[in-house]
Chains A and B, each alone.
Chain A
């Protein structure tokens, strides 16, 4: 269980916090100089570095290499110039995950030298391990406490109920949106879990196991997937659905959605409340946050997408918005696969269907 891990971590850290903090600072210095050196090399000789890691030396890769180099230089300078470089070390962890996903792309391409890409991947994983170690040593226990104190359910201290303690490391999120349709329609759409991946865009699959239970598979950062089983714990037609993960789920989570009609044609307020114990605890949440995927924002994005589908029949798409990397506002050269799929299935047709 998550809480037991957290307790073990807490004990270990309190004993060795001071020593590990000093180690962390030394390690951070080393990582800072490493960042600076690598970054300067990437900016000065992007072609050579591209060839070294086995990707084609073309304009696009050179540009990407320079961008990655600037990021390295920034985090190097950040680490070396700050007396509390912790944030910059975590930025490095984020950078590592980004590099891994870029290398993941290189794997899929048939224009790359696989052996060299493999060597580069191993190197990045190694550096990432150091970055993680360093980040954890610098962060110590304080952060997890801070995170829990700010965002978890319930109070702190001895008066916490067992249920609250169980969620002590969790992130608590509450978000709402108003949708211009009656609660019956919104409830019906949400209760059919087949619909959820349409607006929970990071969900790869939600499979119904039986009337109450379902299997969830989500895309995490850098192509990793996270899976869990969930059970409906409350189902009040047209008002509220609550669910919770069951068994040995890797992401302990529970949530609810309520639908409340507002008077005089003001639509329905949809409120989602969730408690998530992110994989990797506070560290996982921190890494995810670097990618803009921390749970609060994610729930907000999902609600907005839910509203778009219900009110307009489909997700809102501009020419630039669905590109994974920055894209100017001009038509894409090809219609992305997921868009083609949605064009085939057609849009949501509202209460009439």
Chain B
């Protein structure tokens, strides 16, 4: 089959690779009909995620048709249309039973690698480094889906791929960012980053009852989408002296009730402090991204919540922890527990409360994955979201 392979930093190639096979009795094989490039894939593209191997298949946002099931699979059958959640979760450990799927205790066979960096290992993720499992990703013609009775959600006929594809990651991720804010009537929510996840965080905040959402970015086309599609007020951080000051003035001197960081930072650092500092100096964009979390903390009202859904990989510099302690802030974070949110969010789509396809700006053939990555990274052609079709 053809698959999008990571051949090194900034080197993506669509290559011929062996077809996936059933490796466990509860695996399914899915023929992929739509797959997307995620903002977090750009961290891989830039070479900032450790433990990648030349030839790794990328992609963790995908859906398709079940073409084969292992002997123990009970809920899925050949021919079912499914969306596959990006965290791989066993469904039976204590965390899975508590619906904390993205911290499944069993799915990462390379848990020891993650433990060295983070203490304990989270769940594995498709196509996202060997530290997170070494599973082949879904920017390909086919994918093996482990624990097939636990993750994939069946999609009724008649719903187009583009409406449901983002249940795999960015819609639940943005929604969990808002859900973690514990939104009450009258709340004002500030969202840093108006990429696809930020857009879904904005919409989700309104779905969950926020009165106002203030979106922060520097790309006019992204701010425009936040305001026109999402109904948010906007701040272009390149045009104001201080984002916390601007927010203070917009919220009657009190600050937003909750702040969502949908930016994250390139996962550099990783204990190599020297390399981290060099990278920080060289890559102005990344140092900006560290500022987003600091701004979110300093902007949040006393007793408010800072919800982090942007990807952080290692260690954070000059973290204003004094503000957290002295102002009774709550920090909530995590990779999205996609399996927990997929069902209710599919219902919201079916009821017409949201149509997630609004973020798609580019539709490409799988063969053009490499140009999709560079267009997305460089934000050319007002790129917001790239969908690939095998």
The answer on A and B forming one complex is yes
A→B interface (CB under 8 Å): 178, 180, 265-267, 304, 307-308, 311-321, 326-333, 335, 339, 343, 346-347
User: Which chain A residues border B94 with CB–CB below 8 Å?
Assistant: 178, 180, 265-267
Contact B135 A318 (CB under 8 A): yes
Min CB distance B69 to A, Å, is 13
Which single residue of chain A is at the shortest CB-CB distance from B94? A180
User: Which chain B residues border A304 with CB–CB below 8 Å?
Assistant: 111
Q: How far is the CA of A316 from the CA of B106 in the complex (A)?
A: 7
User: Which chain A residues border B57 with CB–CB below 8 Å?
Assistant: 319, 328-330
- Which of the residues A178, A331, A346 comes within 8 Å of B18, measured between beta carbons? A331
Min CB distance B80 to A, Å, is 21
Beyond A314-B24, A331-B18, whether A321 also contacts B90 by CB under 8 A is no
Min CB distance A302 to B, Å, is 13
Contact A308 B106 (CB under 8 A): yes
Contact B3 A347 (CB under 8 A): no
B141-152 Cβ-contact flags toward A at 8 Å (1 or 0): 000101100000
Contact B25 A326 (CB under 8 A): no
Q: How far is the CA of A316 from the CA of B89 in the complex (A)?
A: 11
B→A interface (CB under 8 Å): 3, 5, 17-26, 53-57, 70-72, 90-94, 97, 105-111, 124, 127, 130, 133-137, 144, 146-147
Contact B109 A312 (CB under 8 A): no
Min CB distance A201 to B, Å, is 12
Contact B25 A343 (CB under 8 A): yes
Which single residue of chain B is at the shortest CB-CB distance from A180? B94
Q: Lowest 8 CB-CB distances: which A-B pairs, in order? A: A320-B134, A328-B55, A321-B109, A329-B56, A331-B20, A318-B134, A318-B135, A319-B136
Contact B109 A331 (CB under 8 A): no
Contact B147 A330 (CB under 8 A): no
Q: How far is the CA of A335 from the CA of B53 in the complex (A)?
A: 21
Q: How far is the CA of A307 from the CA of B133 in the complex (A)?
A: 17
Q: How far is the CA of A328 from the CA of B94 in the complex (A)?
A: 30
Contact B18 A333 (CB under 8 A): yes
Q: How far is the CA of A210 from the CA of B71 in the complex (A)?
A: 35
Beyond A329-B135, A331-B21, whether A313 also contacts B26 by CB under 8 A is yes
Beyond A178-B94, A311-B92, whether A347 also contacts B55 by CB under 8 A is no
User: Which chain A residues border B23 with CB–CB below 8 Å?
Assistant: 317, 319, 335, 339, 343
User: Which chain B residues border A327 with CB–CB below 8 Å?
Assistant: 53, 134
Min CB distance B62 to A, Å, is 14
Q: How far is the CA of A313 from the CA of B90 in the complex (A)?
A: 10
Contact A319 B135 (CB under 8 A): yes
Contact B109 A330 (CB under 8 A): no
Most buried by A among B5, B25, B111, B147: B25
Which single residue of chain A is at the shortest CB-CB distance from B20? A331
User: Which chain A residues border B109 with CB–CB below 8 Å?
Assistant: 315-318, 321
User: Which chain A residues border B127 with CB–CB below 8 Å?
Assistant: 329
User: Which chain B residues border A314 with CB–CB below 8 Å?
Assistant: 24-26
Contact B136 A331 (CB under 8 A): yes
Q: How far is the CA of A95 from the CA of B314 in the complex (A)?
A: 33
- Which of the residues A178, A315, A331 comes within 8 Å of B17, measured between beta carbons? A331
Contact A347 B72 (CB under 8 A): yes
Contact B17 A320 (CB under 8 A): no
User: Which chain B residues border A315 with CB–CB below 8 Å?
Assistant: 109
User: Which chain B residues border A311 with CB–CB below 8 Å?
Assistant: 90, 92-93, 105-106
Q: How far is the CA of A256 from the CA of B98 in the complex (A)?
A: 31
Q: How far is the CA of A312 from the CA of B26 in the complex (A)?
A: 9
Min CB distance B56 to A, Å, is 4
Q: How far is the CA of A149 from the CA of B20 in the complex (A)?
A: 50
Contact B24 A318 (CB under 8 A): no
Beyond A266-B94, A346-B25, A347-B24, whether A319 also contacts B134 by CB under 8 A is yes
Q: How far is the CA of A178 from the CA of B281 in the complex (A)?
A: 44
User: Which chain B residues border A343 with CB–CB below 8 Å?
Assistant: 22-25, 70-71
Q: How far is the CA of A304 from the CA of B19 in the complex (A)?
A: 29
Contact B108 A330 (CB under 8 A): no
Contact A312 B134 (CB under 8 A): no
Most buried by A among B54, B93, B107: B93
Q: How far is the CA of A329 from the CA of B144 in the complex (A)?
A: 12
Contact B17 A329 (CB under 8 A): no
A–B pairs, 9, beta carbons within 8 Å = A316-B108, A319-B144, A321-B133, A329-B127, A329-B133, A331-B144, A335-B21, A335-B23, A346-B71
User: Which chain A residues border B136 with CB–CB below 8 Å?
Assistant: 318-319, 329-331
Beyond A180-B94, A321-B134, whether A332 also contacts B18 by CB under 8 A is yes
User: Which chain A residues border B93 with CB–CB below 8 Å?
Assistant: 180, 307, 311
Contact B3 A307 (CB under 8 A): no
Q: How far is the CA of A194 from the CA of B41 in the complex (A)?
A: 44
Beyond A313-B25, A347-B24, whether A326 also contacts B53 by CB under 8 A is yes
Most buried by B among A317, A321, A330: A330
Contact B19 A331 (CB under 8 A): yes
User: Which chain B residues border A317 with CB–CB below 8 Å?
Assistant: 23-24, 109, 146
Which single residue of chain A is at the shortest CB-CB distance from B135? A318
Min CB distance A21 to B, Å, is 35
